Structure 1
Amino acid sequence: MKKQNLFPSIVLIGFGLYFFLQQTNFQIGFPIFIWPTVLFIVGLALLIQSYSSKDFEMIVPSILLLGLGVHFHFVQNTNIQLDHIGVIILFIALGYFLRYQKTKNGLFYFWLFLILALIQLFYDKFMEWFGVFEDKSLNFTSLWPIILIIAGAYLFFFRRK
């Protein structure tokens, strides 16, 4: 049986609903006719496509796009400000976890991205919990890019299959 490519049909249905509701001035209490909705529609279409075609490698980018759509809707409609990079890394971790559930591959990357996301999101709280007072001349946040580059280079050169 031929695998059906649902992505284009779901994107067209999603965009059609988006423009139809926009023309009818549909309101649900918060603005939905903004750019994060497009990320949400594309992410949802990719997620449905990846599960229906059993192409589980697409779960990570689909969760990332879906999550970014939800995140930016949330940020624009509340006064809660989250670190965007930490949230992006958290969605990548969630994508690897969902992919791991289907393929039993990628658990290491789930934990790696989850730890990085938690550090990024709660760095100040971690320092308070451990009773560390930072020396402003050299702190973890100044080393953060170097740590990420080294971790990425290690994964690229030594952990490839």
Structure 2
Amino acid sequence: MKKNGMFSGIVLIGLGLYFFASQFSLPFLKIFQGWPALFVIFGVALLGQAYSAREYQHIFSGIMLFGFGIHFLLVQLWKSWPNEMGVLFFIVALAFLLSSRKMKTGLMQGMLFFVLSFVMLFSERFTHAFPIIETSISFIWKFWPLAFILFGVYILWTKKK
């Protein structure tokens, strides 16, 4: 990081609030207690640094930390908030999509994670309508690690130009 002013300032303010909240049991500072608040603090600091110093490579990690922190805070605050893996994939998709706007890479990965999160979040609602698809997907789902293995073998055995 070339200019640490924004990052350092946000981290110090956030950590000050975090430790202040742990010493006093004020109801409005309860949100700043716990490890998800640290994710939010460092995510906001990375996003502030990314946009203020035009260091756009920090957008992805800033959105990931901020998004995961907000997600875990909302899981603790509201019992109705979805605590599913699809939400985490949606946060990863957002990180790819928003960072691709400035970095010009990652758009396809973002779309892939978005589709994956959509399937993971809403597939249970459609399973009763498509029993054939459900059984075929469950069969394929058992063998999805083979895709990693085959892709790894492809990378190892293809010649680099």
**TM-score greater than 0.5 by the shorter chain:** yes
Distance 1:124 1:90, change over 3 A: same
Q: Aligned partners of 1:142, 1:39: CA distance in 2, in Å?
A: 33
Q: Aligned partners of 1:59, 1:18: CA distance in 2, in Å?
A: 23
The one-letter code sitting in structure 1 at the alignment partner of 2:23 is: Q
Q: Aligned partners of 2:88, 2:10: CA distance in 1, in Å?
A: 24
Q: Aligned partners of 2:146, 2:40: CA distance in 1, in Å?
A: 32
Aligned to 1:65: 65
Structure 2 unaligned regions, length at least 5: none
- SS state at 2:28 partner: coil
Matched, 1:119 2:125: no
TM superposition shift of 1:29 = 8.5
Q: Aligned partners of 2:106, 2:125: CA distance in 1, in Å?
A: 28
* Maintained 8 Å contact 1:119/1:126: no
Q: Aligned partners of 1:128, 1:29: CA distance in 2, in Å?
A: 45
Moved over 6 A (4+): none
Identity of aligned residues (%): 35
Aligned to 2:50: 50
Structure 1 length as normaliser, TM-score?
A: 0.76
Distance 1:131 1:143, change over 3 A: same
- Give the alignment's Cα RMSD to 1 decimal: 3.2
Alignment deviations for residues 123-150 of structure 1 (CA, whole Å, 9 cap, x no partner): 22243454546349x4354345445x36
TM superposition shift of 1:25 = 2.3
Distance 1:56 1:31, change over 3 A: closer
Distance 1:146 1:36, change over 3 A: farther
The one-letter code sitting in structure 1 at the alignment partner of 2:53 is: S
Structure 1 unaligned regions, length at least 5: none
* Maintained 8 Å contact 1:90/1:117: yes
Moved more, 46-55 or 4-13: 4-13
Matched, 1:139 2:139: yes
Aligned to 1:87: 87
Q: Aligned partners of 1:127, 1:151: CA distance in 2, in Å?
A: 29
The structure that is helix-richer by fraction is 2
Structure 2 length as normaliser, TM-score?
A: 0.76
Aligned to 1:78: 78
The one-letter code sitting in structure 2 at the alignment partner of 1:92 is: V
* Maintained 8 Å contact 1:47/1:62: yes
* Maintained 8 Å contact 1:93/1:110: yes
TM superposition shift of 1:52 = 1.5
* Maintained 8 Å contact 1:36/1:73: yes
Aligned to 1:40: 40
* Maintained 8 Å contact 1:89/1:113: yes
